[in-house]
Amino acid sequence: MNVKLLHFQYAQLERDLQQVLDEKEELVTERDVFKTKFERLNQELNYILKGEENRIVDIDALVMENKYVVLFIKCVHSNRKLLHSHLIFI
């Protein structure tokens, strides 16, 4: 009976060890993802702080361009509706 109990405990310890090793592998993978993200963000921040204009994104220009595109799309939709309503009467 004692041998069976020892075998059971040994098998349980093997399973626990494998579970810990799997968790370690997941944590290492997650750490690598965060490390890569940190390096990328740090590089972008350095570009911004150094003032390299070819790397800096002009947020205001993007917002204004987006507003222009939205306005243009609304205009196209209204023209489409107008043309569609004219075609119905013909």
Report the first-to-last Cα separation within the chain, whole angstroms: 96
Q: How many domains does the chain have?
A: 2
- Both 52 and 81 in one domain: the answer is no
What's the CA gap between 62 and 66, in Å, rounded? 6
What's the CA gap between 5 and 13, in Å, rounded? 12
- Both 41 and 75 in one domain: the answer is no
Digit-coded pLDDT (tens) for 8-45:
999 999 999 999 999 999 999 999 988 888 888 877 77
- Both 48 and 77 in one domain: the answer is no
> Which range of residues forms the domain containing residue 71?
57-90
Confidence check: pLDDT of 74 > 70: yes
Instruction: Check if the beta carbon of residue 45 is closer than 8 Å to that of residue 36.
Output: no
State residue 83's pLDDT score.
Answer: 81
